[in-house]
C-alpha cells in the first residue's frame, strides 16, 4: 500500500475518533518517514482528541520543526497550549497564523474564544467580525460556518453588555435559519434579563 492510501486510512480513523488506531499506525509510519510533518500532525491531533495534550504538543512541535509553514499544525499546537493553560504562548501562535494566512478563519475563532476567556470581549468582537467578512467573500464556505461565527459574535456582544447589537445579530441568524436552537436560547435569556430588570425598576418605584 502506498503512502497516500495509508494517510487516507489515518484520516478516516481520525474522522471516526478512533484515536488509538491513528496513534498506533501513525507511529509506525513515522518510524519509516520521520520527517513527514503531515503524519506528525495527525498523530498530534489523535492525542489532542484523547485530551492528552502533553503528548500532542510534542508531535505538533516536531511537525513544525520539519515544516514551519504548516498552519494546521500551528493552530493545533496553539489549541493544545491553550488547553494546558499556556494562554500567552497560544495567543502569540494564533496571531502568527493570522499574519501568515489572513484567511485562516479557524485562527480568528480560536483567538477570539481565548480573548473571551479573560473577558476581552471587545477584542473578540473585532476578530469575529473580521472572520465573518472573510467568510462572506468566499462562496465555498458553508452557511453553517457563517452562522457559527454570527452566533459567537452575538454571545460576545452580550458579554460586553451590548444587548442591542446582540439582538440584531440574533435576528439576522433567525432570518437565515429560523430553527437555530442557540439563537432562540440566547434570545430567550435576553428577554428574561430585560423582564427581570423591568421588575426591579417597578419595585423601586413602589
Euclidean distance between CA atoms 77 and 93, whole angstroms: 8
The set of cell numbers assigned to 34 is 520521520
Instruction: Give residue 104's pLDDT.
Output: 94
Measured distance CA(191)–CA(69) in Å, rounded: 47
Residue 43 exposed, middle or buried by CB count within 10 Å (0-12, 13-18, 19+): buried
Q: What is the pLDDT along the chain (206 residues), one digit of tens a residue?
A: 688 899 999 999 999 999 999 999 999 999 999 999 999 999 999 999 999 999 999 999 999 999 999 999 999 999 999 999 999 999 999 999 999 999 999 999 999 999 998 889 999 999 999 999 999 988 888 888 999 999 999 999 998 889 999 999 999 999 999 999 999 999 888 876 555 443 443 443 44
Asked if 151 contacts 183 with a C-beta cutoff of 8 angstroms, the reply is: yes
pLDDT at 2: 85
What pTM, to 2 d.p., does this model score?
0.84
Backbone angles phi, psi at 68, to 5 degrees: -60, -15
pLDDT score recorded for residue 192: 67
- Distance from chain centroid for Cα 61: 20
The pLDDT, as a whole number, for residue 143 is 84
What single string gives the DSSP state of each residue in 133-183?
A: HHHHT-TTS-HHHHHHHHHHHHHHHHHTT-HHHHHHHHHHHHHH-TT-HHH
Amino acid at each position: 500500500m502506498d503512502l497516500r492510501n495509508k494517510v487516507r486510512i489515518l484520516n478516516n480513523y481520525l474522522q471516526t475518533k478512533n484515536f488509538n488506531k491513528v496513534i498506533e499506525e501513525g507511529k509506525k509510519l513515522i518510524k519509516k518517514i520521520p520527517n513527514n510533518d503531515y503524519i506528525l500532525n495527525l498523530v498530534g491531533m489523535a492525542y489532542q482528541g484523547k485530551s492528552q495534550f502533553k503528548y500532542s504538543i510534542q508531535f505538533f512541535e516536531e511537525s513544525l520543526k520539519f515544516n514551519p509553514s504548516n498552519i494546521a499544525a500551528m493552530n493545533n499546537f496553539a489549541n493544545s497550549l491553550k488547553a494546558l493553560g499556556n494562554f500567552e504562548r497560544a495567543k502569540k501562535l494564533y496571531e502568527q497564523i493570522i499574519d501568515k494566512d489572513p484567511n485562516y478563519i479557524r485562527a480568528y475563532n480560536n483567538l477570539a474564544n481565548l480573548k473571551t476567556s479573560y473577558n476581552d470581549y471587545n477584542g473578540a468582537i473585532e476578530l469575529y467580525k473580521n472572520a465573518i467578512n472573510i467568510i462572506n467573500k468566499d462562496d465555498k464556505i458553508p452557511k453553517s460556518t457563517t452562522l457559527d461565527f454570527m452566533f459567537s459574535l452575538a454571545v460576545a456582544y452580550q458579554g460586553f453588555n451590548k444587548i442591542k447589537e446582540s439582538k440584531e445579530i440574533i435576528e439576522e441568524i433567525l432570518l437565515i435559519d429560523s430553527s437555530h436552537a442557540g439563537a432562540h436560547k440566547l434570545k430567550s435569556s435576553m428577554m428574561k434579563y430585560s423582564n427581570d430588570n423591568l421588575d426591579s425598576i417597578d419595585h423601586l418605584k413602589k
